[in-house]
Amino acid sequence: MLNKSKAIIKIGTRGSPLALWQASQVRAKLQEGEIIKINTTGDNIIDKPLSSVGGKGLFTKELDQELLNHNIDIAVHSLKDVPTIMSEEFNIAFILPRGAPEDVLISNTQAKNIISLPNNTILGTSSPRRYSQIKRIRPDISIVPLRGNVATRLDKVKNNKITATVLALAGITRLNINIDYSILNYNECMPAASQGIIGITYLKTNTKIEKQLNSYKNLITEYQALGERAVLKVINGDCDSAVGVTSYIKNQTITISAKVFSTNGREMIKASNSGPLKKSIDIGKSIGQIIIQKGGLKILKS
């Protein structure tokens, strides 16, 4: 029976195995909470690329509405699924360390990298970022749309419906999936901004939740998340954009790097900058401006 003297934090999440794992990690960190599964439009539409039906906001809008309706106190997300421009009614918090940011290649040929995939490879992905980078290396590869949770996508490879796919390493390790994979270096496939980061959204007016989350704040994750997302904000990047962004921290200095690609991968612009951790947002903005100055917006539209 619930203790009526203390309100339990209501934790909203999508219902996929990975989303539930992430919500459970947040609950463990907060040492309390009731996990509430919320069905999203993005989960219901699995036969079309997100970019063609409304973008990554399809994974968050129902959760946003539940926050606004006060049915949940916080919503847990894979941060890369959260639109770059958020509603002014929400704040975002980071209380967990970042997972592995890299992408991995999984194939039924045990290829170690994109270049070594065999001729006539059929690779499944619905990510414009991955599509462009794969085409840059191997324009001969046939790329087909692939949606669904991690297990669904892996089954397509296991059942030889496709030759290979590219997934986030964080999802594989968090679900403890036993499968052979090869980690792709950033020359082959730079990850999405904030890949591997779990973000928590909440209403700005909910000061009680804000205070509680702030007591568990993970500053390293926050600096990386906000710095990488700042690049996207400047160039107006979203799920339709072939953009890779990553960062690393050494001795209180953060280095952020970004690449933008044309759809076919033939054109690429890259930029990188370093500075104090506390200036991560400014560093991210500067990279976005450099990309614009180099003609990156034109490339993104091509």
Residue 273 forms part of a structural domain: yes
| Residue 41 confidence (pLDDT) | 63
For residues 174 and 255, state if they share a domain. no
Q: Which domain holds residue 285?
A: 219-302
Angle subtended at Cα 232 by Cα 12 and Cα 244, rounded to the nearest 5 degrees: 95
Residue 109 forms part of a structural domain: yes
| Residue 231 confidence (pLDDT) | 97
**Final residue of a structural domain among 127, 161, 183:** 183
Residue 191 forms part of a structural domain: no
Instruction: Please say whether the beta carbons of 108 and 159 come within 8 A.
Output: no
Task: Give strand ranges (E) for the chain.
Answer: 10-13, 34-37, 74-78, 90-93, 103-107, 122-124, 142-144, 164-168, 182-183, 198-203, 243-250, 253-261, 268-276
- Region 91-99: mean pLDDT is 97
pLDDT in tens, 21-43: 999 999 999 999 999 999 876 55
Residue 188 forms part of a structural domain: no
For residues 228 and 203, state if they share a domain. no
| pLDDT at residue 3 tops 50 | no
| CATH number of residue 252's parent domain | 3.30.160.40
Residue 163 forms part of a structural domain: yes
CA atoms of 107 and 245, how far apart (whole Å): 25
Residue 288 forms part of a structural domain: yes
For residues 88 and 167, state if they share a domain. no
pLDDT in tens, 122-154: 999 999 999 999 999 999 999 999 978 899 999
**From 2-6, 123-127, 168-172, the region with the lowest mean pLDDT:** 2-6
Residue with the bigger pLDDT between 61 and 90: it is 90
- Region 93-105: mean pLDDT is 98
| pLDDT at residue 72 tops 50 | yes
Number of folded domains that form the chain? 3
Phi/psi at 61 (nearest 5 deg)? -65, -35
For residues 116 and 38, state if they share a domain. no
For residues 168 and 246, state if they share a domain. no
- The contacts found for 265-272 with CB under 8 angstroms, 24 or more apart, are 265/131, 265/132, 265/133, 265/134, 265/135, 265/136, 265/137, 265/139, 266/136, 267/299, 267/302, 268/136, 268/299, 269/294, 269/295, 269/296, 269/299
| Residue 46 confidence (pLDDT) | 52
| Residue 239 confidence (pLDDT) | 65
Do the bridges between strand 10-13 and strand 74-78 make them parallel or antiparallel, or are there none, so unpaired? Answer: parallel
pLDDT in tens, 259-296: 999 999 999 999 999 999 999 999 999 999 999 999 99
CA atoms of 110 and 160, how far apart (whole Å): 13
For residues 21 and 150, state if they share a domain. no
Residue ranges of alpha helices (H) inside 138-252 are: 150-158, 169-174, 207-214, 219-235
| Residue 148 confidence (pLDDT) | 85
Residue 190 forms part of a structural domain: no
- The contacts found for 135-140 with CB under 8 angstroms, 24 or more apart, are 135/263, 135/264, 135/265, 136/261, 136/264, 136/265, 136/266, 136/268, 137/188, 137/265, 138/114, 139/264, 139/265
For residues 109 and 179, state if they share a domain. yes
DSSP code of residue 127: -
For residues 91 and 22, state if they share a domain. yes
| Residue 43 confidence (pLDDT) | 57
For residues 83 and 204, state if they share a domain. yes
Question: Looking at the annotation, which residues are catalytic?
Answer: 81
DSSP code of residue 110: -
CA atoms of 284 and 169, how far apart (whole Å): 24
pLDDT in tens, 208-221: 999 999 999 999 99
For residues 148 and 19, state if they share a domain. no
- Region 224-233: mean pLDDT is 97
Residue 1 forms part of a structural domain: no
For residues 13 and 124, state if they share a domain. no
pLDDT in tens, 171-216: 999 999 999 999 999 999 999 999 999 999 999 999 999 999 999 9
For residues 81 and 138, state if they share a domain. no
| pLDDT at residue 52 tops 50 | no
| Residue 5 confidence (pLDDT) | 42
| CATH number of residue 53's parent domain | 3.40.190.10
- Region 2-6: mean pLDDT is 45
